[in-house]
Amino acid sequence: MTEQMVIRRPVMVVGMLLAGRLVRQSTLVTAEELTAIGLEPSLFNAGSVAVYECPCLRVPVTLGVIRTRILLPSAWITWSDAKLQSVLAHETAHARRRDTWVMVLAEVNRAVYWFHPLAWWLKRQLADLAESACDDEASDLSGDRTNSARHLLEVAAQVSSSQGRLIPIGVSMARQSNVETRIDAILDFTRPLSQRISRVAAMGIFTVAVALIVLFAAMKPNAQAGEN
């Protein structure tokens, strides 16, 4: 087992342990608390997606494979109703699309095929597509693209100011790698919303990419054997 593979696997394990620890340190935000500030229960689908407050976080994160949990930072209580609605709409879209499943699978694939650039590209690409799709859903729900872009920028800025890192197996609107591109897309009023890639299409990309990675990985030792 190579050093790179040894490194990638502990990263996954640590990410899973960290996710579990954050959930244990969190407290449930009841439907009554959310509706008390004017949010509709249907927004966060409380029957299947639980919303928690986590004092260890500064940005919202969606976690879970069997049961999806949205973790909000303690500061959520100070947010405006519009910002909280935007954040919950975005993170609930992740839950509905099962993006946490896709990210876990992509992370496992990257840990196994760490040596192949396509495995690293696939994880980044799927994350970008998921965030863009959820940006569109949140903007569509609010009906105000300008506010949606501002809320995204405010949340992403919290990662920079705290020099924080996101959990590898979680998904969050605070992901910074392509914030400028996402904001440009939200503010592109000539582009219709909800035209981003679907979860089914994302899984199709994942399946095809993994097949190619496995094929190339199998060809590599054969090519080396031929040279010998």
Mind spelling out the 3-state secondary structure of 93-159?
Answer: HHHHHCHHHHHHHHHHHHHHCCCCHHHHHHHHHHHHHHHHHHHHHHHHHHCCHHHHHHHHHHHHHHH
pLDDT of 200 reads 61
- pLDDT tens across 116-175, in order? 788 888 888 888 888 888 999 888 888 889 999 999 988 888 876 555 455 655 677 776
- Token digits of residue 188: 């592109």
Separation of first and last alpha carbons in the chain: 22
pLDDT of 48 reads 65
pLDDT of 4 reads 47
- What percent of the chain is modeled with pLDDT above 90? 10
Whether pTM > 0.75 for this model: the answer is yes
pLDDT band, residue 217 (cuts 50/70/90): low
- The C-alpha atoms of residue 81 and residue 68 are separated, in whole angstroms, by 23
* Cβ-contact 172, 91 below 8 angstroms: yes
Phi, psi (rounded to 5 degrees) for 180: -60, -40
Q: Which residues, 6+ apart, have CB-to-CB distance to 82 below 8 Å?
A: 142, 144, 147, 151
pLDDT exceeds 70 at position 30: yes
| Amino acid at residue number 86 | S
- 74 or 209: which carries more pLDDT confidence? 74
